[in-house]
Structure 1
Amino acid sequence: MNELGHRCQASPVQVETSFACLREEFQEFKTEMLSVLELLRNQISVLCKSIDDIEMRHRRKYLLVGGIPEDNNIDLTDTVVSSLINKIGLALSVEKLSVCVHLANIVEGQCGPVMLRFTEPSLRATVWSMKTALKGTSHTISEFLTR
Protein backbone atom coordinates (compact mmCIF):
# COMPACT_ATOMS: atom_id res chain seq x y z
CA MET A 1 0.00 0.00 0.00
CA ASN A 2 2.88 2.34 0.80
CA GLU A 3 4.43 1.60 -2.56
CA LEU A 4 1.16 2.37 -4.30
CA GLY A 5 0.90 5.64 -2.34
CA HIS A 6 4.42 6.65 -3.42
CA ARG A 7 3.57 5.84 -7.04
CA CYS A 8 0.43 7.95 -6.82
CA GLN A 9 2.41 10.92 -5.54
CA ALA A 10 5.23 10.48 -8.08
CA SER A 11 3.51 11.55 -11.29
CA PRO A 12 -0.06 11.69 -12.62
CA VAL A 13 0.82 9.58 -15.67
CA GLN A 14 2.24 6.81 -13.51
CA VAL A 15 -0.82 6.99 -11.25
CA GLU A 16 -3.15 6.56 -14.20
CA THR A 17 -1.07 3.65 -15.46
CA SER A 18 -1.08 1.95 -12.04
CA PHE A 19 -4.88 2.39 -11.74
CA ALA A 20 -5.32 0.90 -15.21
CA CYS A 21 -3.12 -2.01 -14.19
CA LEU A 22 -5.06 -2.37 -10.95
CA ARG A 23 -8.37 -2.31 -12.87
CA GLU A 24 -7.09 -5.01 -15.22
CA GLU A 25 -5.94 -7.20 -12.35
CA PHE A 26 -9.29 -6.75 -10.62
CA GLN A 27 -11.17 -7.73 -13.79
CA GLU A 28 -9.00 -10.85 -14.15
CA PHE A 29 -9.59 -11.71 -10.48
CA LYS A 30 -13.34 -11.16 -10.86
CA THR A 31 -13.49 -13.35 -13.98
CA GLU A 32 -11.51 -16.09 -12.24
CA MET A 33 -13.77 -16.00 -9.16
CA LEU A 34 -16.92 -16.14 -11.29
CA SER A 35 -15.59 -19.19 -13.14
CA VAL A 36 -14.71 -20.87 -9.82
CA LEU A 37 -18.22 -20.14 -8.49
CA GLU A 38 -19.78 -21.61 -11.62
CA LEU A 39 -17.64 -24.71 -11.24
CA LEU A 40 -18.73 -25.06 -7.60
CA ARG A 41 -22.38 -24.70 -8.57
CA ASN A 42 -22.01 -27.45 -11.16
CA GLN A 43 -20.29 -29.73 -8.66
CA ILE A 44 -23.02 -29.13 -6.07
CA SER A 45 -25.66 -29.93 -8.68
CA VAL A 46 -23.92 -33.19 -9.63
CA LEU A 47 -23.53 -34.16 -5.97
CA CYS A 48 -27.21 -33.48 -5.23
CA LYS A 49 -28.22 -35.66 -8.17
CA SER A 50 -25.88 -38.44 -7.00
CA ILE A 51 -27.28 -38.32 -3.47
CA ASP A 52 -30.83 -38.45 -4.82
CA ASP A 53 -29.94 -41.46 -7.00
CA ILE A 54 -28.45 -43.28 -4.00
CA GLU A 55 -31.51 -42.47 -1.90
CA MET A 56 -33.83 -43.70 -4.66
CA ARG A 57 -31.91 -46.98 -4.98
CA HIS A 58 -32.28 -47.51 -1.25
CA ARG A 59 -35.97 -46.56 -1.11
CA ARG A 60 -36.88 -48.72 -4.10
CA LYS A 61 -36.78 -51.75 -1.81
CA TYR A 62 -39.72 -50.48 0.26
CA LEU A 63 -43.48 -50.23 -0.24
CA LEU A 64 -45.93 -48.06 1.69
CA VAL A 65 -49.27 -49.54 2.66
CA GLY A 66 -51.92 -47.04 3.67
CA GLY A 67 -55.16 -47.57 5.52
CA ILE A 68 -53.80 -49.90 8.20
CA PRO A 69 -55.18 -48.74 11.55
CA GLU A 70 -52.69 -48.18 14.34
CA ASP A 71 -53.43 -50.41 17.31
CA ASN A 72 -50.89 -50.86 20.10
CA ASN A 73 -52.49 -54.10 21.33
CA ILE A 74 -52.09 -56.00 18.04
CA ASP A 75 -48.78 -56.82 16.32
CA LEU A 76 -48.46 -54.57 13.28
CA THR A 77 -46.79 -57.23 11.13
CA ASP A 78 -49.65 -59.68 11.70
CA THR A 79 -52.20 -56.96 10.88
CA VAL A 80 -50.46 -56.03 7.63
CA VAL A 81 -49.98 -59.64 6.54
CA SER A 82 -53.62 -60.55 7.27
CA SER A 83 -54.84 -57.40 5.45
CA LEU A 84 -52.75 -58.21 2.38
CA ILE A 85 -53.89 -61.84 2.40
CA ASN A 86 -57.56 -60.82 2.70
CA LYS A 87 -57.50 -57.93 0.20
CA ILE A 88 -55.05 -59.19 -2.41
CA GLY A 89 -55.28 -62.94 -1.92
CA LEU A 90 -51.52 -63.32 -1.79
CA ALA A 91 -49.87 -66.18 0.09
CA LEU A 92 -47.75 -64.14 2.47
CA SER A 93 -46.22 -64.92 5.85
CA VAL A 94 -44.69 -62.80 8.60
CA GLU A 95 -41.26 -64.26 7.84
CA LYS A 96 -41.35 -62.71 4.35
CA LEU A 97 -41.22 -59.17 5.82
CA SER A 98 -37.88 -57.88 7.02
CA VAL A 99 -39.18 -54.41 7.98
CA CYS A 100 -42.68 -53.39 9.04
CA VAL A 101 -42.87 -49.92 10.60
CA HIS A 102 -45.72 -47.47 11.06
CA LEU A 103 -44.62 -44.03 9.84
CA ALA A 104 -45.72 -40.83 11.56
CA ASN A 105 -49.20 -39.47 10.99
CA ILE A 106 -49.17 -36.80 8.31
CA VAL A 107 -52.74 -35.62 8.92
CA GLU A 108 -54.24 -35.60 12.41
CA GLY A 109 -57.00 -38.18 12.76
CA GLN A 110 -55.71 -40.40 9.94
CA CYS A 111 -53.34 -43.31 10.33
CA GLY A 112 -49.94 -43.00 8.74
CA PRO A 113 -48.68 -45.47 6.16
CA VAL A 114 -46.83 -48.66 7.04
CA MET A 115 -43.39 -49.08 5.48
CA LEU A 116 -42.67 -52.64 4.33
CA ARG A 117 -39.49 -54.28 3.14
CA PHE A 118 -39.69 -57.82 1.86
CA THR A 119 -37.00 -60.47 2.21
CA GLU A 120 -37.26 -61.22 -1.51
CA PRO A 121 -37.34 -58.56 -4.25
CA SER A 122 -39.61 -60.77 -6.36
CA LEU A 123 -42.24 -60.74 -3.59
CA ARG A 124 -42.11 -56.94 -3.49
CA ALA A 125 -42.68 -56.87 -7.25
CA THR A 126 -45.61 -59.27 -6.90
CA VAL A 127 -47.27 -57.17 -4.21
CA TRP A 128 -46.65 -54.01 -6.25
CA SER A 129 -48.23 -55.55 -9.37
CA MET A 130 -51.30 -56.67 -7.38
CA LYS A 131 -52.02 -53.20 -5.95
CA THR A 132 -54.98 -52.76 -8.29
CA ALA A 133 -56.84 -55.41 -6.27
CA LEU A 134 -57.11 -52.80 -3.50
CA LYS A 135 -59.21 -50.48 -5.68
CA GLY A 136 -62.38 -49.48 -3.88
CA THR A 137 -60.99 -50.30 -0.43
CA SER A 138 -59.50 -48.07 2.23
CA HIS A 139 -56.07 -49.64 1.65
CA THR A 140 -53.45 -48.30 -0.75
CA ILE A 141 -50.01 -49.40 -1.85
CA SER A 142 -47.43 -46.90 -3.07
CA GLU A 143 -43.69 -46.74 -3.58
CA PHE A 144 -41.47 -45.00 -1.05
CA LEU A 145 -39.68 -42.66 -3.48
CA THR A 146 -38.07 -39.23 -3.18
CA ARG A 147 -39.64 -36.15 -4.71
Structure 2
Amino acid sequence: MESINRTINDLSNLFSTRMAEFEKELQKSSGTAAVTTSGLAAEFTTFRTLIVQALQALQQQVGVLSRSLDNLEMRGRRKILLLHGVAEEQDEETAQVVTQIIKKNLKLDLSVSGIKRCHRMGRSATHKPRPILLKLHDMAFRDQIWFSKTKLKGSGITISEFLTRARHNLFMAARDRFGVTRCWTTEGTVIVLDSKGTRHRVTSFIDLDKIKQQPKTSSDRAEQVSGQPEPGVVHPVAVGRVAVAATKTKRTVAKK
Protein backbone atom coordinates (compact mmCIF):
# COMPACT_ATOMS: atom_id res chain seq x y z
CA MET A 1 0.00 0.00 0.00
CA GLU A 2 2.89 2.33 0.77
CA SER A 3 4.40 1.73 -2.67
CA ILE A 4 1.10 2.62 -4.36
CA ASN A 5 0.80 5.85 -2.35
CA ARG A 6 4.36 6.72 -3.31
CA THR A 7 3.62 6.06 -6.99
CA ILE A 8 0.47 8.19 -6.89
CA ASN A 9 2.36 11.06 -5.23
CA ASP A 10 5.15 10.85 -7.81
CA LEU A 11 2.64 10.84 -10.67
CA SER A 12 0.74 13.75 -9.14
CA ASN A 13 3.93 15.80 -8.89
CA LEU A 14 4.88 14.85 -12.44
CA PHE A 15 1.46 15.85 -13.79
CA SER A 16 1.60 19.17 -11.96
CA THR A 17 5.06 19.92 -13.35
CA ARG A 18 4.12 19.02 -16.90
CA MET A 19 0.88 20.99 -16.79
CA ALA A 20 2.74 24.01 -15.45
CA GLU A 21 5.18 23.75 -18.35
CA PHE A 22 2.32 23.50 -20.86
CA GLU A 23 0.60 26.53 -19.34
CA LYS A 24 3.82 28.51 -19.41
CA GLU A 25 4.39 27.69 -23.09
CA LEU A 26 0.82 28.65 -23.94
CA GLN A 27 1.20 32.01 -22.20
CA LYS A 28 4.38 32.71 -24.17
CA SER A 29 2.69 31.74 -27.44
CA SER A 30 -0.41 33.88 -26.78
CA GLY A 31 1.75 36.94 -26.18
CA THR A 32 3.80 36.64 -29.33
CA ALA A 33 2.21 34.53 -32.06
CA ALA A 34 -0.63 32.12 -32.65
CA VAL A 35 -0.22 28.54 -31.50
CA THR A 36 0.35 26.25 -34.48
CA THR A 37 -1.59 23.07 -35.01
CA SER A 38 1.60 21.03 -35.30
CA GLY A 39 2.80 22.36 -31.93
CA LEU A 40 -0.45 21.40 -30.22
CA ALA A 41 -0.33 17.95 -31.80
CA ALA A 42 3.21 17.39 -30.53
CA GLU A 43 2.29 18.53 -27.02
CA PHE A 44 -0.80 16.28 -27.06
CA THR A 45 1.26 13.25 -28.17
CA THR A 46 3.76 13.85 -25.38
CA PHE A 47 1.05 14.21 -22.78
CA ARG A 48 -0.80 11.10 -24.03
CA THR A 49 2.38 9.04 -23.79
CA LEU A 50 2.87 10.28 -20.26
CA ILE A 51 -0.69 9.30 -19.28
CA VAL A 52 -0.33 5.79 -20.77
CA GLN A 53 2.92 5.19 -18.92
CA ALA A 54 1.37 6.42 -15.69
CA LEU A 55 -1.63 4.11 -16.05
CA GLN A 56 0.63 1.14 -16.77
CA ALA A 57 2.66 1.89 -13.65
CA LEU A 58 -0.50 2.09 -11.55
CA GLN A 59 -1.81 -1.14 -13.06
CA GLN A 60 1.39 -2.94 -12.12
CA GLN A 61 1.21 -1.60 -8.57
CA VAL A 62 -2.43 -2.66 -8.21
CA GLY A 63 -1.53 -6.11 -9.54
CA VAL A 64 1.19 -6.49 -6.92
CA LEU A 65 -1.20 -5.38 -4.19
CA SER A 66 -3.93 -7.77 -5.39
CA ARG A 67 -1.54 -10.72 -5.38
CA SER A 68 -0.32 -9.80 -1.89
CA LEU A 69 -3.89 -9.64 -0.57
CA ASP A 70 -4.74 -12.92 -2.29
CA ASN A 71 -1.71 -14.63 -0.72
CA LEU A 72 -2.69 -13.27 2.68
CA GLU A 73 -6.28 -14.48 2.31
CA MET A 74 -5.11 -17.90 1.14
CA ARG A 75 -2.87 -18.25 4.19
CA GLY A 76 -5.95 -17.76 6.35
CA ARG A 77 -7.61 -20.67 4.52
CA ARG A 78 -4.77 -23.17 4.85
CA LYS A 79 -6.52 -25.22 7.55
CA ILE A 80 -9.82 -25.32 5.64
CA LEU A 81 -11.05 -28.12 3.38
CA LEU A 82 -14.30 -28.50 1.47
CA LEU A 83 -16.23 -31.77 1.37
CA HIS A 84 -18.47 -32.24 -1.66
CA GLY A 85 -21.19 -34.82 -2.22
CA VAL A 86 -22.06 -35.49 1.43
CA ALA A 87 -25.78 -36.27 1.73
CA GLU A 88 -27.65 -33.50 3.53
CA GLU A 89 -30.28 -34.16 6.16
CA GLN A 90 -32.50 -31.87 8.15
CA ASP A 91 -31.26 -30.86 11.64
CA GLU A 92 -27.97 -32.65 11.07
CA GLU A 93 -24.88 -32.25 13.25
CA THR A 94 -22.37 -31.40 10.55
CA ALA A 95 -19.30 -31.96 12.71
CA GLN A 96 -20.53 -35.44 13.66
CA VAL A 97 -21.23 -36.27 10.02
CA VAL A 98 -17.71 -35.23 9.01
CA THR A 99 -15.98 -37.17 11.79
CA GLN A 100 -17.85 -40.33 10.80
CA ILE A 101 -16.82 -39.92 7.16
CA ILE A 102 -13.16 -39.33 8.08
CA LYS A 103 -13.07 -42.32 10.40
CA LYS A 104 -14.92 -44.71 8.12
CA ASN A 105 -13.44 -43.81 4.73
CA LEU A 106 -10.02 -42.37 5.52
CA LYS A 107 -9.28 -44.43 8.65
CA LEU A 108 -8.20 -41.30 10.54
CA ASP A 109 -9.13 -40.61 14.14
CA LEU A 110 -10.81 -37.21 14.00
CA SER A 111 -12.78 -35.99 17.00
CA VAL A 112 -15.21 -33.09 17.21
CA SER A 113 -12.77 -31.28 19.50
CA GLY A 114 -10.24 -31.23 16.65
CA ILE A 115 -12.64 -29.25 14.48
CA LYS A 116 -12.54 -25.47 14.75
CA ARG A 117 -15.44 -24.75 12.40
CA CYS A 118 -17.78 -26.94 10.38
CA HIS A 119 -20.90 -25.96 8.46
CA ARG A 120 -22.67 -26.15 5.12
CA MET A 121 -21.99 -23.42 2.57
CA GLY A 122 -24.60 -21.47 0.65
CA ARG A 123 -28.37 -21.75 0.59
CA SER A 124 -30.08 -25.11 0.84
CA ALA A 125 -31.00 -26.74 -2.46
CA THR A 126 -33.07 -29.78 -3.27
CA HIS A 127 -31.17 -31.05 -6.31
CA LYS A 128 -27.76 -31.54 -4.69
CA PRO A 129 -26.18 -31.31 -1.23
CA ARG A 130 -24.27 -28.20 -0.26
CA PRO A 131 -20.50 -28.52 0.34
CA ILE A 132 -19.26 -28.70 3.92
CA LEU A 133 -16.60 -26.28 5.11
CA LEU A 134 -14.22 -27.99 7.53
CA LYS A 135 -11.63 -25.96 9.45
CA LEU A 136 -9.25 -27.88 11.69
CA HIS A 137 -7.11 -26.79 14.63
CA ASP A 138 -4.08 -28.77 13.51
CA MET A 139 -2.44 -28.13 10.13
CA ALA A 140 -0.67 -31.50 10.20
CA PHE A 141 -3.96 -33.36 10.59
CA ARG A 142 -5.43 -31.28 7.78
CA ASP A 143 -2.60 -32.52 5.55
CA GLN A 144 -3.29 -36.13 6.57
CA ILE A 145 -6.88 -35.76 5.41
CA TRP A 146 -5.80 -34.02 2.19
CA PHE A 147 -3.27 -36.67 1.19
CA SER A 148 -5.68 -39.51 2.05
CA LYS A 149 -8.55 -38.19 -0.06
CA THR A 150 -7.97 -40.77 -2.82
CA LYS A 151 -9.51 -43.34 -0.46
CA LEU A 152 -12.85 -41.64 -1.10
CA LYS A 153 -12.85 -42.84 -4.69
CA GLY A 154 -16.15 -44.48 -5.52
CA SER A 155 -17.94 -43.04 -2.50
CA GLY A 156 -19.33 -40.02 -4.34
CA ILE A 157 -17.53 -37.72 -1.88
CA THR A 158 -14.62 -35.52 -2.89
CA ILE A 159 -12.38 -33.09 -1.02
CA SER A 160 -11.00 -29.81 -2.34
CA GLU A 161 -9.10 -26.85 -0.96
CA PHE A 162 -10.95 -23.65 -0.09
CA LEU A 163 -9.49 -21.42 -2.81
CA THR A 164 -9.92 -17.68 -3.12
CA ARG A 165 -12.11 -16.46 -5.96
CA ALA A 166 -9.08 -15.45 -8.05
CA ARG A 167 -7.37 -18.82 -7.62
CA HIS A 168 -10.60 -20.73 -8.17
CA ASN A 169 -11.15 -18.94 -11.50
CA LEU A 170 -7.54 -19.65 -12.48
CA PHE A 171 -7.88 -23.32 -11.49
CA MET A 172 -11.11 -23.79 -13.45
CA ALA A 173 -9.53 -22.15 -16.51
CA ALA A 174 -6.55 -24.50 -16.23
CA ARG A 175 -8.83 -27.55 -16.02
CA ASP A 176 -10.78 -26.35 -19.02
CA ARG A 177 -7.61 -25.96 -21.10
CA PHE A 178 -5.53 -28.94 -20.00
CA GLY A 179 -8.05 -31.39 -18.54
CA VAL A 180 -9.08 -32.48 -15.07
CA THR A 181 -6.37 -35.11 -14.65
CA ARG A 182 -3.54 -32.66 -15.36
CA CYS A 183 -4.49 -29.92 -12.93
CA TRP A 184 -4.65 -29.86 -9.14
CA THR A 185 -3.92 -27.58 -6.20
CA THR A 186 -1.56 -27.95 -3.29
CA GLU A 187 -1.61 -25.50 -0.37
CA GLY A 188 -3.64 -23.15 -2.54
CA THR A 189 -1.21 -23.16 -5.46
CA VAL A 190 -2.45 -24.27 -8.90
CA ILE A 191 -0.27 -26.98 -10.46
CA VAL A 192 -0.48 -27.87 -14.17
CA LEU A 193 1.15 -30.89 -15.81
CA ASP A 194 2.10 -30.24 -19.43
CA SER A 195 2.34 -32.74 -22.29
CA LYS A 196 5.98 -33.54 -21.42
CA GLY A 197 5.18 -34.33 -17.80
CA THR A 198 6.66 -31.11 -16.45
CA ARG A 199 4.90 -29.44 -13.53
CA HIS A 200 4.16 -25.72 -13.62
CA ARG A 201 3.20 -23.56 -10.64
CA VAL A 202 0.56 -21.20 -12.01
CA THR A 203 -0.11 -17.93 -10.19
CA SER A 204 -1.71 -15.90 -12.99
CA PHE A 205 -3.34 -16.23 -16.40
CA ILE A 206 -0.04 -15.06 -17.91
CA ASP A 207 1.65 -18.15 -16.45
CA LEU A 208 -1.18 -20.29 -17.80
CA ASP A 209 -0.78 -18.90 -21.32
CA LYS A 210 2.92 -19.83 -21.35
CA ILE A 211 2.22 -23.55 -20.93
CA LYS A 212 2.01 -25.57 -24.12
CA GLN A 213 -1.52 -26.86 -24.54
CA GLN A 214 -2.41 -30.39 -25.60
CA PRO A 215 -5.72 -31.85 -26.77
CA LYS A 216 -8.03 -33.23 -24.08
CA THR A 217 -8.31 -36.98 -23.77
CA SER A 218 -11.59 -38.88 -23.62
CA SER A 219 -11.05 -39.47 -19.88
CA ASP A 220 -10.70 -35.73 -19.28
CA ARG A 221 -13.99 -35.03 -21.00
CA ALA A 222 -15.81 -37.84 -19.24
CA GLU A 223 -14.55 -37.29 -15.71
CA GLN A 224 -16.55 -34.66 -13.85
CA VAL A 225 -15.28 -34.26 -10.29
CA SER A 226 -15.13 -31.31 -7.93
CA GLY A 227 -11.94 -32.32 -6.14
CA GLN A 228 -8.37 -32.44 -7.41
CA PRO A 229 -6.11 -35.40 -8.18
CA GLU A 230 -3.50 -36.31 -5.60
CA PRO A 231 -0.37 -34.15 -6.07
CA GLY A 232 2.30 -36.22 -7.76
CA VAL A 233 -0.14 -38.84 -9.04
CA VAL A 234 -0.87 -38.86 -12.75
CA HIS A 235 -4.12 -40.56 -13.60
CA PRO A 236 -3.78 -43.05 -16.44
CA VAL A 237 -5.18 -42.01 -19.76
CA ALA A 238 -7.90 -44.21 -21.11
CA VAL A 239 -6.61 -46.60 -23.69
CA GLY A 240 -8.34 -46.45 -27.03
CA ARG A 241 -10.31 -49.41 -28.19
CA VAL A 242 -8.83 -51.54 -30.90
CA ALA A 243 -11.34 -52.48 -33.54
CA VAL A 244 -11.06 -56.02 -34.67
CA ALA A 245 -12.47 -56.67 -38.11
CA ALA A 246 -14.53 -59.80 -38.37
CA THR A 247 -13.84 -61.85 -41.47
CA LYS A 248 -16.61 -63.68 -43.22
CA THR A 249 -15.89 -67.14 -44.51
CA LYS A 250 -17.33 -68.16 -47.80
CA ARG A 251 -19.45 -71.27 -47.80
CA THR A 252 -18.79 -73.45 -50.79
CA VAL A 253 -21.49 -75.70 -52.14
CA ALA A 254 -20.36 -78.96 -53.70
CA LYS A 255 -21.50 -79.43 -57.26
CA LYS A 256 -23.39 -82.61 -58.01
TM-score (norm 1): 0.80
Q: 1:139 to 1:7 in 2, by over 3 A?
A: closer
SS in 2 for 1:69: coil
Higher RCO (CA 8 Å, separation ≥ 6 residues): 1
Which amino acid in structure 1 is aligned with residue 143 of structure 2? A
Which amino acid in structure 1 is aligned with residue 107 of structure 2? G
Which one has a larger percent helix, Structure 1 or Structure 2?
Answer: 1
Of 62, 71, 78 in structure 1, the residue corresponding to residue 80 of structure 2 is 62
Gaps (5+ residues) in structure 2?
1-25, 169-256
Q: 1:69 to 1:26 in 2, by over 3 A?
A: same
Cα distance in 2 for partners of 1:89, 1:49 equals: 37
Report what 1:109 is aligned to. Answer: 127
Query: Over aligned residues, Cα RMSD in angstroms?
Result: 2.6
Matched positions, count: 139
Gaps (5+ residues) in structure 1?
none
Cα distance in 2 for partners of 1:122, 1:37 equals: 44
Report what 2:137 is aligned to. Answer: 119
Residues 18-27 or 120-129, more deviating: 18-27
SS in 2 for 1:81: helix
Report what 1:53 is aligned to. Answer: 71
Q: Verify: 1:128 aligned to 2:146, yes or no.
A: yes
Query: Among the aligned pairs, what percent are the same residue?
Result: 31
Cα distance in 2 for partners of 1:132, 1:24 equals: 65
8 A Cα contact 2:121 2:132, kept in partner: yes
SS in 2 for 1:33: helix
Which amino acid in structure 2 is aligned with residue 22 of structure 1? L
8 A Cα contact 2:79 2:137, kept in partner: no
> 1:42 Cα shift?
1.2
Of 95, 114, 119 in structure 1, the residue corresponding to residue 113 of structure 2 is 95
8 A Cα contact 1:105 1:111, kept in partner: no
Report what 1:35 is aligned to. Answer: 53
- Detail structure 1 runs of 4+ shifted over 4 Å in the superposition: 105-108
